[in-house]
Structure 1
Amino acid sequence: MKIRPGLVLELAVNFLLPWLAYRLARPYVGETGALIASAVPPLVWSAIELARFRRVDALSVMVLAGIVLSVAAMALGGSARMLLLRESLISGAIGVVFLLSLPMRRPLIFYLARASVAREMAGGAAHFDALWRERPGLASAMRVMTLVWGSGLTAETALRAWMALTWPVERFLVVSPFIGYGIYGGLALWTLWYRKTMRSRLQDSAPASGVAG
């Protein structure tokens, strides 16, 4: 997997800059104001993408949704357990959105993958649309990935929510990061393996279908 400048910029705008905005703003405007400030970089990036390419950046939308959910969850209360639960709600909401997109003609991962391809190559979006139409195996693979990620994120949230509500706070703070990173790491490794496997299958089937890679 090659690391391209467009991907680095996308990750920086959607993850590094929101974190920096949050850290810089928090001493002056508090946690809620800092969360709102962290939404500015992906919001500006989405506006630029919409103006330049007439498309909405899927990753930015997910980041913004997480920030909005975090701000909304703060309104539920400020107890220690509620704050712990708040952190779990974001990934859970994203997991539910993944699962809800399965019956749609194009699941959520389709838009994430197409946005990445569009930045990696000229005409990438049109190329990816053509592959989606001409290779049924790609559509099936996208749905499997959507199902696995949606189920994984939802299960991680359910587990961490149970821990946050029933365990002592100190135990949760020690164990929870290992649970979260373990599940995310497992999903990432599975994705790399599955992507490599499906890429080989699609390449093998291309000559038979007459589709150029």
Structure 2
Amino acid sequence: MKVSSKRKLIINIALSIVVNGAIPVLVYNLLLDHFSSFISLLIATLIPLGDNLYHLIKFRKADAFGLFMLIGFLLSLAAFVLGGNERLILLRESVVTGLLGLIFIGTLFFGKPLIYHFAIRFSAGDESEKKGQFVKNWEVPYFRFVLRLMTAIWGIALLGDAVLRVILVYELSISTFLAVSQMIFYGVIGAAILFTIIYRRYAKKRLDLIIHH
């Protein structure tokens, strides 16, 4: 079961990279012979949006990434209305990613950090007993430290991704940027997920020792 789940996860990640990275690059280059660079890029960037809308309709629930893609699309239209060029369209994802990073960091100063809300939603789910234990653990200083550290790491990772891609959008050709942009994004997200998994295991063992002593 675990092998099957891992294989399914790898396939989903690969498909996501193809849909959000490879296909937009291909479409952009094919459309250049018929449309301006700006229009070609705008059409190409609608593909990831369409993919996320498909999943939104299929599963009938909004996910963070889909909503950010929608925000990105609206930013693209704003760039067009304001006379923006293709570079501004490419910047939209970095703006959304950067804003998300700032939200992560901002929650460190107001109540419970964002990772707390994510964890209680996806870890505890609807099981009231687990949820109650999670809420109780918040009273432990080490538990609060762990969640705040995770939140800070995710915030820094997302901000770093945004800054790097803002720099590269003006250093690389549009075609090259489209090709490497998603790899950078998934690389950063992958590293943050790996850190979260490893650190969570370590922190859980230490938390168990603290609670039972």
TM bucket normalised to smaller: 0.5 to 0.7
Q: State whether residues 43 and 64 of structure 1, in contact with CA within 8 Å, keep that contact through their aligned partners in structure 2.
A: no
Report the CA distance between 1:69 and its aligned residue: 1.9
Out of 71, 74, 83, the position equivalent to 1:72 is 74
Question: Of 141, 153, 157, which residue of structure 2 is paired with 1:152?
Answer: 157
Q: 5 Å matches for 1:122-133?
A: 122-133=128-139
Please give the TM-score of this superposition, normalised by the length of structure 2.
Answer: 0.67
Aligned length: 173
In structure 2, give the amino acid aligned to 1:45.
K
Q: Relative contact order (C-alpha < 8 Å, sep 6+): which is higher?
A: 2
Deviations 1:76-97 (A, max 9, x none): 1263322221222222221111
Choose which of 166, 170, 175 in structure 1 pairs with 2:175.
Answer: 170
> Which AA in structure 2 matches 1:179?
I
Counterpart code for 2:166: A
Percent identity over the alignment?
A: 25
> Would you say 1:100 and 2:102 are equivalent positions?
no
1:166 is displaced (CA, Å) by 2.9
Distance 1:206 1:123, change over 3 A: closer
Alpha-carbon distance in 2 for matches of 1:181, 1:37: 20
Q: Aligned equivalents of 1:98 and 1:42: distance in 2?
A: 28
1:152-179 deviations in whole A, cap 9, x for unaligned? 1001011001111232213323332332
Instruction: Compute the RMSD of aligned alpha carbons.
Output: 3.4
Unaligned 5+ segments in structure 1 are: 20-29, 47-59, 209-213
Q: 1:114 aligns with which of 110, 120, 125?
A: 120
Structure 2 spans left out of the alignment, 5+ residues? 20-42
1:1-213 to 2 correspondence within 5 Å?
Answer: 31=46, 34=50, 37=53, 41=57, 45=61, 60=63, 62-63=64-65, 65-75=67-77, 76-77=79-80, 79-119=85-125, 121-133=127-139, 135-208=140-213
- With over 3 angstroms needed to count, the CA separation of the structure-2 counterparts of 1:153 and 1:196, relative to structure 1, is same
Q: How far off its partner does 1:102 sit?
A: 0.7
The residue matched to 1:106 in structure 2 has which SS?
coil
Assess if the C-alpha contact under 8 Å between 1:69 and 1:89 holds in 2: no
Once residues 207 and 149 of structure 1 are traced to their aligned partners in structure 2, the CA distance between those partners, rounded to angstroms, is: 29
Amino acid at match of 2:72: S
- Aligned partner of residue 61 in structure 2, secondary structure: helix
Structure 1: which 4+ aligned runs deviate by more than 6 Å?
Answer: none
Structure 1 pair 137–65 and aligned structure 2 pair: CA distance change class (3 A): same
Cα distance in structure 2, aligned partners of 1:207 and 1:161: 48
Contact 2:69–2:93 (CA<8 Å) still a contact in 1? no
In 2 relative to 1, CA 143–39 (structure 1 residues): closer, same or farther, beyond 3 Å? same
